[in-house]
Amino acid sequence: MAKYQNKYTIEKKNAWKIFDRIYKRYDLLNHFLSLGFDFGWRKKLSSLAIKKKSAVLLDLATGTGDVLFSLINHSGGFKRAIGIDMSRNMVNYAVRKRAAKKLNNKVDFLIGDANSIPLKSGSFDMVTMAFGIRNISEPIKALKDINRVLAKDGIVLILEFSLPENRILKKLHLFYLRYLIPLIGKIISGDTEAYVYLGKTIEVFPYGDNFLKLMEKAGFNKCEKYPLTFGIVTVYRGIKCYE
């Protein structure tokens, strides 16, 4: 097992290059590999969002824009929304989806790094990130920069993979991550390396209470976690802390 996994080594700072390769099949694989649960995960994220039409949203690691568009559909709308990602191909794909949804006047997409957000401090009422924080080389730095760009009482919502607490479910899920996801990813996208890497990041990234500690260290308070689907994903919520 270790020998198989160690064939593929990708530095997190270059992880965005994976998504430049698999962008055409990314949405399809998300739906397929999650057995369709990803629609419910995004809906749960939206249920925890700010409920005011005057709010300004920033979605980091936006990918093809699925989370951003879901938030607009399920949260009562936003005054303005910006999605940022380092993968140009993913952003270009999101731009095409934006046009199809007739949201050109409301949504902007930018190439940018969540470790150093290229936007002004205090500019956003809410910042979201789905399945991106574990691919960042310095997650605490990214969380601190999220805190910086949030306005007073701003909310951060992070949706990320985690591992089930139940030992049997955890073993089954690890088998799925280590063997089935790379196989399915290879068949559909032709890229084994990408899906081995993604599975490995899920195994080693801090989740649950350990991730809440990172959020608190970055300056958020009232931090909460919402495990979903037996704990294979978790939504984290925090509020910008003022002295």
Does 236 or 77 have the greater pLDDT score?
236
Question: Length of the chain, please?
Answer: 243
Banded pLDDT at 235 (limits 50, 70, 90): very high
pLDDT tens digits, one per residue of 106-159: 999 999 998 899 999 999 999 999 999 998 888 999 999 999 999 999 999 999
Q: Domain ranges in the chain?
A: 2-240
Instruction: Provide the whole-model pTM.
Output: 0.88
Selection from 209, 210, 206, 201 nearest residue 177 by Cα: 201
pLDDT attached to residue 32:
79
Q: Do the bridges between strand 150-161 and strand 107-111 make them parallel or antiparallel, or are there none, so unpaired?
A: unpaired
**Gap between the Cα atoms of 176 and 160, Å rounded:** 17
On the 0-12 / 13-18 / 19+ scale of CB atoms within 10 A, 74 is middle
What is the pLDDT of the chain when averaged over all its residues? 88
Number of C-alpha atoms within 13 angstroms, CB side, residue 49? 34
**Gap between the Cα atoms of 58 and 108, Å rounded:** 10
Out of 3.40.50.150, 1.20.120.420, 3.90.700.10, 3.30.420.340, which CATH number does the structure's domain 2-240 have? 3.40.50.150
The DSSP 8-state label assigned to residue 58 in this structure reads E
**Gap between the Cα atoms of 77 and 51, Å rounded:** 8
Q: Name the H helices within the chain.
A: 2-6, 16-33, 37-47, 66-74, 88-100, 139-149, 167-175, 181-189, 192-204, 209-217
pLDDT attached to residue 243:
53
* Block residue for tokens 């037996």: 230
Six-digit token string for 241? 């802390």
42 Cβ partners below 8 Å, 6+ apart? 66, 67, 70, 71, 74, 130, 159
pLDDT tens digits, one per residue of 204-226: 899 999 999 999 999 999 999 99
Q: What angle do CA 51, 62, 149 make, to 5 degrees?
A: 60
* Cα 6 from chain centre: 25
Report whether pLDDT(68) > 50. yes
